[in-house]
Amino acid sequence: MSTFQAPKGTYDLIPPQSAVHLKVREAFAAPLKAAGYGYIETPAFEDVALFSRGVGESTDIVTKEMYVFETKGGTRLALRPEGTASTVRAVLEAGLHKAGNLPVKVWYSGSQYRYERPQKGRYRHFWQVGAEAVGAEDPALDAEMIIMADDAYKSLGLRQYRILLNSLGDKECRPAYRTALQEFLRGLDLDEETRRRIEINPLRVLDDKRAEVQKQLTGAPLMRDHLCEACKAYHEQVRELLTAAGVAFEDDDRLVRGLDYYTRTTFEFVHGGLGSQSAVGGGGRYDGLSEMIGGPALPSVGWALGVDRTVLALEAEGIELDLPAATQVYAVPLGDEARRRLFGLVTELRREGVATDFAFGGKGMKNAMKSANRSGARFALIAGERDLAEGVVQVKDLESGEQGPVALDAVVAELRARLA
């Protein structure tokens, strides 16, 4: 072991488990590619004000969790804690919304940074795949988002998750609700910090995880009873479209989520096997965000799915993903001439799409065969001077143990056929 360890709250993705992470990212991306979303990548750090304005001054993310630093040039930057604000910033900066083809549909895959109290499923460096549809207001777009995430989780074989759905209203109806909620909350027995939150962002108090707070919230006014006609109709359409698509969801009046920019549709995917870090993904509509960061009005909807927690959910359900073998063929040369010939074959096999590895480092036969077995390869290619003189290599099936000679010029085709 070296003197150094991964920083607190982080972990290394290492093989073979890293293959599961990659597979999860691919599963999240698949429905997006099938629905017209293009890939976007933004810097890992941004102007700190993008997040304080975009994510919201009163959120945990901005007040407690951001990694903020000053550059040598005196600019205040933050490591990105989430992907939506950066994505909308990039869309506006590139003028993608002006191309006349709204919504702008983009997806990203990347790590996020939050200074949190580390525990299982809660890290300071974690991975999200996200999707954003910028510049359209349409219940079908909200439904599309939820259906894509549901399809992604289903494609991984996950079963023990629920979809929670709520509407947070819009600028017509939320202000009156906010006032009603504030009046209710001011009458409760709460600590100083929470009392301050009542004045800045009272909805967030509903999201408080502490039992002593939740207990007092039983009679709190609900957004559902304050939605305007437009929001009610919009939400009803989202629900109908989800039902028609066979997506099972639950109405959750208390679902508010941690970010300030959400309006109307909000949703969360929660998994039953993860304890208190149960949210595997979430998102919603954020009609005000673009204007908050200086852009035009661009009603939008999106989600971010947590890769780390989804991997934990797979473990909790005992799901083993069907992963392609990292190595299909392993070549074991005996002697210098065999090394040259086999290395040539290895290159050829790789170019033909067969995952092939080689006994590097001049290992002896016994050691090399051990490596072949450990590599997970189905076949070993073994050749010594005598084989080469006869124009063959030995092909050993590492599952059955059967071994036989194959002509050198036929071995690539032979292996491809046997692996197919």
DSSP label at residue 65 = I
Of 9 and 157, nearer to ligand ATP (C-beta) is 9
Q: Does 258 bind ligand ATP (CB under 6 A)?
A: yes
Q: How many residues bind ligand ATP (CB under 6 A)?
A: 19
Q: Which two tokens stand for residue 379?
A: 């076949």
Q: Does 177 bind ligand ATP (CB under 6 A)?
A: no
Residues 198 and 32: their CA atoms lie apart, in Å, by: 38
Nearest distance from C-beta of residue 148 to ligand ATP, angstroms: 15
Q: Does 277 bind ligand ATP (CB under 6 A)?
A: yes
Nearest to 369, CA basis, from 350, 384, 382? 382
**Is the CB of residue 393 less than 8 Å from the CB of residue 382?**
yes
Of 65 and 287, nearer to ligand ATP (C-beta) is 65
Of 255 and 331, nearer to ligand ATP (C-beta) is 255
- Residue 237, H or E segment: helix 229-244
Of 253 and 414, nearer to ligand ATP (C-beta) is 253
Nearest distance from C-beta of residue 213 to ligand ATP, angstroms: 15
The mark string for 93-122 relative to ligand ATP (x by CB under 6 A, - otherwise) is ---------------------x-x----xx
Q: How many whole angstroms from its chain centre is CA 369?
A: 38
**Is the CB of residue 252 less than 8 Å from the CB of residue 163?**
no
C-alpha dihedral, 85 to 87 to 93 to 99, nearest 10°: -130
Please report, for residues 48, 143, 238, 256, 358, the alpha-carbon distance to residue 125 in angstroms, rounded to integers and kept in the order given: 18, 30, 33, 24, 35
Q: Does 281 bind ligand ATP (CB under 6 A)?
A: yes
Of 280 and 408, nearer to ligand ATP (C-beta) is 280
- Asked if the peptide bond before residue 333 counts as cis, ω within 30 degrees of 0, the response is no
Total count of residues recorded for the chain: 420
Of 300 and 371, nearer to ligand ATP (C-beta) is 300
Of 59 and 371, nearer to ligand ATP (C-beta) is 59
Stretch that binds ligand ATP, among 22-30, 95-103, 279-287, 288-296 (CB under 6 A): 279-287
Instruction: Please provide the distance, in angstroms rounded to a whole number, between the alpha carbons at the two ends of the chain.
Output: 41
Stretch that binds ligand ATP, among 171-179, 276-284, 289-297, 387-395 (CB under 6 A): 276-284
What's the longest Cα–Cα distance across the chain? 92
Nearest distance from C-beta of residue 6 to ligand ATP, angstroms: 14
Question: Under the rule (CB under 6 A), what is the footprint of ligand ATP?
Answer: 82, 114, 116, 121-123, 126, 128, 257-258, 277, 279-282, 304, 306, 308-309
